[in-house]
Chains A and B, each alone.
Chain A
Amino acid sequence: MSPRRTDSGGRIDRQRSIRFTFDGKPFTGYPGDTLASALLASGVSLFGRSFKYHRPRGVMTAGVDEPNALVTVLKGGVREPNIPATLLEIYDGLTVVSQNHFPSLGFDIGATNQLGGKLLGAGFYYKTFIGPVIGPLKGTRFWMFCEYFIRRAAGLGRAGNEKDTARYERINAFCDVLVVGSGPAGLMAAKTAAESGKRVVFADLEPRLGGSANWSGETIDGMPAADWAEAAVTELRQNANVRLLPRTTVWGYYDGNTLAALERVADHKPNPGKGEPRHRYWTIRAEAVVLATGAFERPLVFPGNDRPGVMLASAAERYAAEFGVLPGRKVVVFTNNDSAYATAAALKKAGAGIAAIVDVRREVSEAAHAAALSVGGEFLAGHAVVATEGGAKLSGIKVQIFDAATGALSGEPRSIEADCLIVSGGWSPVIHLASQAGINPQWDDARQAFLPPQPTQNWVGAGAFNGSFSTEEALAEGHAAACQAAGTVDGLIEALPEVETPALRSHPAPVFEIKAKGKAFVDFQHDVTADDVRLAYREGFVSVEHLKRYTTLGMATDQGKTSNVPGLAIMAEALGKPIPDVGTTRFRPPFSAVSLGSLAAERYGDLKPERLTPMHDWHIEHNATMYPVGLWFRPMIYGDPGETVEQAYVREAKATRETAGIVDVSTLGKIAVQGPDAAEFLDRVYTNVFSTLAIGKARYGLMLREDGLAMDDGTTWRLGQNDFLMTTTTANAGKVMQHLEYLLDVIWPDLKVQLTSVTDQWAGAAIGGPKAREILASCVTGTAVDNEALQFMGIVHGEIAGAPVMICRLSFSGEMAFEVYSGACHGCHVWKALMQAGKPFGLVPYGLEALGTLRIEKGHVTGAEIDGRTTGRDLHLDWMLSKKKPFIGSAMMDREGLMAEDRIKLVGVISLDNRPLNGGAHIVEENNPDEPRNSIGHITAVCYSPALGKYIGLALVKGGKSRHGSRAFVADPLRKRFGPVEIVSHHFFDPEGKRMHG
């Protein structure tokens, strides 16, 4: 039996024990234990070290508000830092280590930081490390030198580099009523909503639903509260309309009543089930929400208030009642309100001795007084704790007479022996979710607490969340909230349960701090003291938001759940202003920290889907190196063994010019443009005319944006009177589609045109080269492909190996070339048939590199040139800008900036030193290899041209055509390349187009 464990009671199962390790030391606990309860039960009091001063810290709370007891969980090489021991359910084999110390938790060199305490006050960094004005450490160098060492001290736990092998998932849920929090208020709300037949989601971050009913010791409906809660939960579990979500923290309240929640599905298991995620991220869209998130107890600020052994009263009660763990044998209670008296009684009942009750109030209620007498020990009303004693473990406290009205201490401090000090500084409703939408909460003087703001979304509050701290109120409000949320406002669905409870009031005296000598902590994790708050005040950082940022109060992993209100109360006092004038800092998601993995969810390890063409598997089988283009994959080269990339593409390009090559063009965007106004529509969106295009013909088109700059180009095929097939570049397909849809839907709704993405409907293969026609002729049936039947830009229909195909004679390579389109499911079949037919002719498949080479030789532009900054004229496409009609962009394309002389324009460049060029290299006029300056443009695309036997490129250069025939230099300092180039026309090869016209 462990030293602190009680014989009975609580949610733990004493029949079975669980083994785990903490800092390498073996421990045991019971199912139902958290790491905190199990370690406390084993007599451990030191859990971690604080951030700045490395002070020893124990457990302060029993829940999600824990600032001190943070640990790192190890799973193989995977590390999970900063996990509150109070939320960590133990399981067999759990391995936990403490953090932020060197060399060990017990002895930590970092604790010497405390010696510099006064120096290390708020704002320390801003005032120093500015460094000398001259010398090697001038400017910001000195700071960077210091920063190196300061950074070593950053953070608490350590993250690992190893990939987490756990699974994360997300799920969408819809419901009529979402109930957040399962205490008496939430339970009652869930019961009520369920009974009215609504679809209910019912979430609580704790593993066991019931909230404070699990440990309050009250009687509800004649049974212990915990039993009442269990019965209610059992009933809800059987209702098909109710989804219970234990271990689920609702952490974000977003627009449109969309709430985000994290379910810790398998964290409490040694291993998740097959396919079971560790975390499930819920997005819940609720018609209405009941917020029943309860209240956090606040600590009091006094010297030594951070010593291990000091704990919140409600936490102590939870450990005793819910886990069967006594936080101490000799307990002192320190409070400013009545609620801690019930705690004292509960601890006493569980077997602890109450050494003293210290209350800042001189007068207390009769019930409190009676409770104090019944637990025994000293009763010190009108007193305050002014110090704690002991090392890394509490051994006693000091008290002094205290005047709550003035804050004055008097009399001699007196020591009282104790191994546990429980503290209650009042209660703060958990209004975080309600406040996330940005409305300011309201201060309530009676309760000394911020109450929830006016709803900005459809939610209703209930229970301690509303500042209604009694269980009767919680039940009544839970019921009423559900009636409102479910839309059955008109009344009781069932009788409210009866509650037996001591008549204690949790409204505290307005005392937040005891000013005595010594460090009194406000933010425990970040070591922000009451003096730091006052220093911020003196330096003018008086807005709460300045206070926060200057001192880091409330910025730790607990986000100030315990520290914000005491902190701003101290600032209010310094300012001599009431608390509401000071206000509170802004609440933000998440309510409590959530794993990054859960938010990535199904995309963890699988960031984006892959888009594959019908011929994808064939390419892979034929040694293609695949290249990502957006989400698509396209062959870059089909490398033969031992070939370099350049050798491969040169071979492919050469083969295409000499015999024939074939390339997969299935990724081109394809849009069906259909309807009686389709031709008119195309006239409006393309710079050139399409209404004159004959059926069975295709035309090259250029599209501008509204602002007159080039947007995309491609061919559009007229398949019927009212039926066009538009192609776009692979990269711009989605953008063009949206652009066209916008125009049709918003600007010209009167046009009868239908747009449908048919990119995936068609597989495309472009076959080009001197032998291309012969190859086609040998395998196409149902149509001829000779010059007569299939003129340049003509379209015919036929079959290849039994599959219907549509063939258009158009050329990107500059060769006699054809695009063969077939149904996507036939794509690979047709491709193989073409390869088969081409075999005798030496047909070669080619990839993007060769495609690029062929197009550069021809001077065709693509995305590298149509980069959103160029105009049609910059690319010498002036001839396509129709003067006969307005089109998208026509009104804007002649603006002065787009016509300016010094714009960069398309040219060709040839490497004169026979060395390769690089995309992204610049062009300069001066021969200054060491320090090139004054770019006149840049290279957009490069290749080795087998046709020219030279390294060539396309470039955008100031002056454009006027520089043809002139010499310049390529400047590529990043890749250490400088050399002479000749600027030439971008039409490198067969400028008259003889080859493609055949």
Chain B
Amino acid sequence: MLISCPYCGPRDLSEFTYQGDGNRTRPDPASTDQQAWNAYVYDRVNTAGDHHEIWQHSGGCRAHLMVTRNTLTHKVSAVAFARDAGHRKSDRHRMSGGAA
């Protein structure tokens, strides 16, 4: 499997570390909403199809990437820096609805 790092270009899977479900939002640090914390830490979306997930290019530039990858075919259809994806959180929700 290859992931196209926006900085390094297409690189082999062995250079990356999977950081899981990219649909989760960390509650506000001061939040005491236990439900929200539980959901953030433990609950995962297991999409069959295009899945939004975070990978670290740990064997390269070490950036975290927001990757859209099909869990049925392993085809990667989109990659962006996670830090840029941060301020487009609403976008991400829309994408996980299946539009992407």
Verify that A and B bind, or say they do not. yes
Contact A746 B64 (CB under 8 A): yes
Among B31, B32, B75, B82, the residue within 8 A (CB) of A746 is: B82
Q: Which chain B residue lies CB-closest to A705?
A: B41
Please measure, in the bound complex, the distance between the C-alpha atom of A437 and the C-alpha atom of B75, giving whole angstroms: 11
Contact B2 A891 (CB under 8 A): no
A-B contact count (CB 8 A): 64
Please measure, in the bound complex, the distance between the C-alpha atom of A871 and the C-alpha atom of B29, giving whole angstroms: 20
Sort chain B's interface into a size bin.
Answer: 20 to 34
Which residues of the partner chain A approach B63 to less than 8 Å between Cβ atoms?
A: 745
Interface residues of B in 65-87 (CB under 8 A from A): 73-76, 82-84, 86
Contact A684 B29 (CB under 8 A): yes
Please measure, in the bound complex, the distance between the C-alpha atom of A762 and the C-alpha atom of B93, giving whole angstroms: 44
Q: Which chain A residue lies CB-closest to B3?
A: A256
Main secondary structure of the interface of B (DSSP, over half): mixed
Which residues of the partner chain A approach B75 to less than 8 Å between Cβ atoms?
A: 255
Which residues of the partner chain B approach A437 to less than 8 Å between Cβ atoms?
A: 73
Contact B27 A891 (CB under 8 A): yes
Which residues of the partner chain B approach A285 to less than 8 Å between Cβ atoms?
A: 2, 10, 12
Contact A892 B17 (CB under 8 A): no
Contact B2 A255 (CB under 8 A): yes
- The proximity string for B residues 39-77 relative to A, scoring 1 for CB distances below 8 Å and 0 otherwise, is 011100000000000101010001110000000011110
Interface residues of A in 934-970 (CB under 8 A from B): none
Best-surrounded residue of A256, A437, A707 (most CB of chain B within 10 A): A256
Contact B29 A886 (CB under 8 A): yes
Among B19, B58, B83, the residue within 8 A (CB) of A749 is: B83
Which residues of the partner chain A approach B32 to less than 8 Å between Cβ atoms?
A: 891
Best-surrounded residue of A257, A684, A749 (most CB of chain B within 10 A): A749
User: Does A706 belong to the interface (CB within 8 Å)?
Assistant: yes
Contact B1 A747 (CB under 8 A): no
Contact A745 B2 (CB under 8 A): no
Which residues of the partner chain B approach A749 to less than 8 Å between Cβ atoms?
A: 82-84, 86
Contact A742 B56 (CB under 8 A): yes
Contact B73 A891 (CB under 8 A): no
Interface residues of B in 6-43 (CB under 8 A from A): 10, 12-13, 17, 19, 26-27, 29-32, 34, 37, 40-42
Contact B19 A742 (CB under 8 A): yes
Among A256, A258, A746, the residue within 8 A (CB) of B54 is: A746
Interface residue count on the A side (C-beta < 8 Å): 23
Contact A745 B83 (CB under 8 A): yes
Q: Which chain A residue lies CB-closest to B74?
A: A255
Among A256, A456, A741, the residue within 8 A (CB) of B1 is: A256
Which residues of the partner chain A approach B62 to less than 8 Å between Cβ atoms?
A: 741
Which residues of the partner chain B approach A283 to less than 8 Å between Cβ atoms?
A: 12
Best-surrounded residue of A258, A738, A747, A891 (most CB of chain B within 10 A): A891
Contact A738 B56 (CB under 8 A): yes
Please measure, in the bound complex, the distance between the C-alpha atom of A437 and the C-alpha atom of B72, giving whole angstroms: 10
Known: A256-B1, A256-B2. A738 touches B27 (CB 8 A): no
Contact B29 A255 (CB under 8 A): no
Which residues of the partner chain A approach B41 to less than 8 Å between Cβ atoms?
A: 706-707, 892
Which residues of the partner chain B approach A892 to less than 8 Å between Cβ atoms?
A: 37, 41
Q: Which chain A residue lies CB-closest to B85?
A: A746
Contact B26 A456 (CB under 8 A): no
Contact B86 A746 (CB under 8 A): yes
User: Does A632 belong to the interface (CB within 8 Å)?
Assistant: no
Among B2, B56, B84, the residue within 8 A (CB) of A741 is: B56
Among A456, A742, A886, the residue within 8 A (CB) of B64 is: A742
Which residues of the partner chain A approach B34 to less than 8 Å between Cβ atoms?
A: 891, 895
Which residues of the partner chain A approach B17 to less than 8 Å between Cβ atoms?
A: 738
User: Does A633 belong to the interface (CB within 8 Å)?
Assistant: no
Which residues of the partner chain A approach B56 to less than 8 Å between Cβ atoms?
A: 738, 741-742, 745
Which residues of the partner chain B approach A142 to less than 8 Å between Cβ atoms?
A: none
Contact A891 B37 (CB under 8 A): yes
Interface residues of A in 887-901 (CB under 8 A from B): 891-892, 895
Question: In the assembled complex, how far is the CB of residue B84 from the closest CB belonging to chain A, in whole angstroms?
Answer: 8
Please measure, in the bound complex, the distance between the C-alpha atom of A437 and the C-alpha atom of B73, giving whole angstroms: 8
- The proximity string for A residues 675-693 relative to B, scoring 1 for CB distances below 8 Å and 0 otherwise, is 0000000001000000000
User: Does A254 belong to the interface (CB within 8 Å)?
Assistant: yes
Which residues of the partner chain A approach B74 to less than 8 Å between Cβ atoms?
A: 255-256
Question: In the assembled complex, how far is the CB of residue B95 from the closest CB belonging to chain A, in whole angstroms?
Answer: 16
Best-surrounded residue of A456, A707, A747 (most CB of chain B within 10 A): A747
Which residues of the partner chain B approach A891 to less than 8 Å between Cβ atoms?
A: 27, 29, 31-32, 34, 37
Which residues of the partner chain B approach A456 to less than 8 Å between Cβ atoms?
A: 73
Please measure, in the bound complex, the distance between the C-alpha atom of A684 and the C-alpha atom of B26, giving whole angstroms: 14
Question: In the assembled complex, how far is the CB of residue A674 from the closest CB belonging to chain B, in whole angstroms?
Answer: 15
Contact A258 B1 (CB under 8 A): yes
Contact B30 A886 (CB under 8 A): yes
Best-surrounded residue of B27, B54, B73 (most CB of chain A within 10 A): B73
Please measure, in the bound complex, the distance between the C-alpha atom of A746 and the C-alpha atom of B23, giving whole angstroms: 12
Which residues of the partner chain A approach B73 to less than 8 Å between Cβ atoms?
A: 437, 456
Please measure, in the bound complex, the distance between the C-alpha atom of A891 and the C-alpha atom of B13, giving whole angstroms: 34
Which residues of the partner chain B approach A684 to less than 8 Å between Cβ atoms?
A: 29
- The proximity string for A residues 246-263 relative to B, scoring 1 for CB distances below 8 Å and 0 otherwise, is 000000001111100000
Q: Which chain B residue lies CB-closest to A895?
A: B34
Question: In the assembled complex, how far is the CB of residue B2 from the closest CB belonging to chain A, in whole angstroms?
Answer: 3
Which residues of the partner chain A approach B64 to less than 8 Å between Cβ atoms?
A: 741-742, 745-746
Which residues of the partner chain A approach B31 to less than 8 Å between Cβ atoms?
A: 891
Which residues of the partner chain A approach B86 to less than 8 Å between Cβ atoms?
A: 746, 749
Question: In the assembled complex, how far is the CB of residue B30 from the closest CB belonging to chain A, in whole angstroms?
Answer: 5
Known: A255-B1, A746-B64, A892-B41. A738 touches B82 (CB 8 A): no
Which residues of the partner chain A approach B83 to less than 8 Å between Cβ atoms?
A: 745-746, 749
Please measure, in the bound complex, the distance between the C-alpha atom of A466 and the C-alpha atom of B64, giving whole angstroms: 42
Contact A254 B27 (CB under 8 A): no
Q: Which 10 A-B pairs have the closest CB atoms?
A: A256-B2, A749-B83, A255-B1, A745-B64, A886-B29, A255-B74, A746-B82, A891-B37, A256-B1, A749-B86
With A256-B1, A746-B64 known, 5 other A-B pairs at CB within 8 A are: A255-B2, A256-B10, A738-B58, A745-B56, A745-B82
Task: Show 6 residue pairs from A and B whose CB-CB distance is below 8 angstroms, ordered by the A residue.
Answer: A256-B76, A738-B58, A745-B63, A745-B83, A886-B29, A892-B37
